[in-house]
Amino acid sequence: MELKKFLAVSAVSSAIFLSACANTPGATDNDVTTENLIRGGEWVVDDISGKGIIDSSRVSIVFMEGNKVGGSSSCNRYSGEYQLNGSEFTVGENMASTRMACAPALMNQEESFLKLLMHVNQARFGDHGELLLSTPEGETIRAFQSSPKP
């Protein structure tokens, strides 16, 4: 009988302890930090404001040391600076981009991506490890890791 009582008390104590740990405030897997953005390597965009992206096009985001950001915006390469403070995320106004022409649909996609990126004010990770960059209006850029850095 004593063994059964001991096991029951142990099980209840363990459950209480584990539930307390689960509710401890602090960093979670969904928190975005500069370190885990950079460690993410290249983030490949698969959705711009709920419209997906054009097949065979490449839109990407790479976060680098010194709060630098760059990547491919469909036709061209872009670069600039970003700031991250908790979940607050902003891209600097001085973005630079190459100016090659390409198919009109790709040019439109590129313009939509860059405009949206400039209005992003929040960064978080989704349930599947995707990076979600959102505007105050609720528009979102969704990207997945292409090649995480070790």
- The partner residues of 47 in beta bridges, in order of sequence, read 142
pLDDT in tens, 103-116: 999 999 999 999 99
For residues 96 and 93, what is the distance between their CA atoms, to the nearest angstrom?
9
For residues 114 and 97, what is the distance between their CA atoms, to the nearest angstrom?
10
| Token pair of 4 as six digits | 């059964």
* pTM (predicted TM-score): 0.75
For residues 60 and 28, what is the distance between their CA atoms, to the nearest angstrom?
25
Domain 32-145 falls in which CATH fold? Answer: Lipocalin (2.40.128)
Which position has the higher pLDDT, 137 or 41?
Answer: 137
Mean of all residue pLDDT scores within the chain = 82
In terms of DSSP bridges, do strands 122-125 and 140-145 run parallel, antiparallel, or are they unpaired? unpaired
pLDDT in tens, 15-47: 333 333 333 334 445 677 877 777 778 999 999
Ordered by start, the domain boundaries in the chain are 32-145
Is residue 130 scored above 60 in pLDDT?
yes
Average pLDDT, integer, range 61-67: 91
